[in-house]
Amino acid sequence: MDGEFVNGSVAVVNRGRWLAPTLPVSEASSEQLRRRIRSTIRVQNQAAAARSEAVAELERRHGSELVETVLREDGLLGRRRARSEVIVAVELDELPRTREGFHKGDISAENVRILVGANQRGTIDEEQLLDDARSQSPDKFAATVRKHEQRRAEDDGVSKLVYQRSRRFARITTDLDDGMTVLYGRFDPVTGAQIETAVSAMMNDLWHQEDPRSRVSAGQRMADAIAELVTRQERDGGVQDVRLLVIADYDTVAGRLGNPRLGDGTPVPAGTLRRLACDAQVLPAIFSGSTTPLDLGRARRTASGPQRAALVARDKHCVGCGAKASWCQAHHIRHWQDGGPTNIDNMTLLCTRCHHMVHDQDWTVEQTPTGTYYLRRPPRQPNPRYRRRRNRPFKQRK
């Protein structure tokens, strides 16, 4: 066997032995458990890098088809995952700094895959992305890479959007096992955002119609929402009124809009922004240089449509766990019943689970010096017999 490869494998094995727990998890402190998790993740990254190196060498000797077979049979990987691992292993040669970070355990296999994919689509500045690759989760890093690609695109990202649209695809099939109908589709980001906006709005309507004592699952509600949108029209013969949020920054010096993007931060070409602005169903959110929402609603008990749009543009997702904005409610930081006003500075986006954590488990919404909101855990575990005061439905108040 190759001595260098054996030495590399032994290094990973030895690190794994070093991580062998000396205490049962029940006896370890919370900080010890966190250190153990961080260390095992690092070793996991190193093991993935060692496997990727072996895959690349085997591919050079025997071709991708044999390596995919090995990964499926010996590694018990699915066909799609096996093919992806081979592609990443081979293409990683073009990103030496990424490969180095991967072998050190600093970069996860998922972030390596994102970098390789971006490099396949066009030239990226590897050095600019390395720090984010080491520190960001795959979801956040994917968004970072998309913005990086948009900035480096010579045509403002138009060709990328055209390419994405050329790959659109949808399929309706029947599951042979149980006879259920299966929908599958791929869409460009703009079309996808429009579809998600419509589905989320319908899901919200259905949620309000449900009996709180017997709610369906989120997946069932989404299925119902899609069925409603496809098969039913409103009584007036029109379609449901939903609006897509498009965000842009206003440069007061140049007197023009810049950095156009969807509500989740996905960049869009300036030409697409102009086209969408002509659509009455698009809600624009214009930001000043200080990222302060301009003229987006006025105070009332519940957030207005423009106010919610401003919250989505500012927070992008649940400030507690990162759940999509479409799954969130507008939460009063200083509660409404305690005199808290309904304005942008006193509201933030929280999903249902995080909303309950604030109202029932003493979690609080805090703000960083840069203006970002986050959830702070309570200083002690809440007493399960103690239930915080909840906002009662408006119609129940005297």
Type and span of the H or E element at 396: none
Given a cut of 50, is residue 295 above it in pLDDT?
no
Query: Tokens for 83?
Result: 């093919």
Least confident of 6-15, 147-156, 218-227, 267-276: 6-15
Contacts of 316 (CB under 8 A, 6+ apart): 263, 264, 265, 325
Q: What is the pLDDT of residues 203-262, one digit of tens each?
A: 888 888 888 888 899 889 999 999 988 887 554 455 555 567 777 776 655 666 677 777
Q: What's CA 81's distance to the chain center, in Å? A: 21
Residue 186 near residue 168 (C-beta atoms within 8 A): yes
Q: How far apart are CA 303 and CA 307, in angstroms?
A: 6
Given a cut of 90, is residue 112 above it in pLDDT?
yes
C-alpha closest to that of 339 among 394, 301, 376 = 301
The H-assigned helical ranges of the chain are 3-18, 30-62, 64-73, 79-91, 96-104, 109-121, 126-135, 138-152, 158-166, 189-209, 218-231, 270-277, 305-315, 352-361
Residue 108 near residue 141 (C-beta atoms within 8 A): no
Query: Dihedral through CA 330, CA 332, CA 336, CA 339, nearest 10?
Result: -150
* CB neighbour burial string for 12-36, b if at least 16 within 10 angstroms, e if fewer: beebeeeeeeeeeeeeeeeeeeeee
Q: What share of the chain is helix, strand, coil (3-state, %, to 5)?
A: 55, 15, 35
Least confident of 45-49, 91-95, 181-185, 296-300: 296-300
Given a cut of 70, is residue 384 above it in pLDDT?
no
Average pLDDT, the chain: 79
Given a cut of 70, is residue 200 above it in pLDDT?
yes
Residue 292 near residue 346 (C-beta atoms within 8 A): no
Q: What is the mean pLDDT of residues 290-317?
A: 65
pLDDT class for 283, splitting at 50, 70, 90?
low
Q: How far apart are CA 44 and CA 37, in angstroms?
A: 10
Q: What's CA 85's distance to the chain center, in Å? A: 22
Q: How far apart are CA 272 and CA 282, in angstroms?
A: 12
Given a cut of 80, is residue 193 above it in pLDDT?
yes
The pLDDT, as a whole number, for residue 10 is 45
Burial class from Cβ neighbours inside 10 Å (0-12, 13-18, 19+) for residue 328 reads buried
Contacts of 335 (CB under 8 A, 6+ apart): 391
Burial class from Cβ neighbours inside 10 Å (0-12, 13-18, 19+) for residue 71 reads buried
Q: How far apart are CA 318 and CA 312, in angstroms?
A: 9
In terms of pLDDT, which residue wins out, 7 or 372?
Answer: 372
Of the chain, the percentage scoring pLDDT greater than 90 comes to 24
Q: What is the pTM of this model?
A: 0.52
The pLDDT, as a whole number, for residue 235 is 43
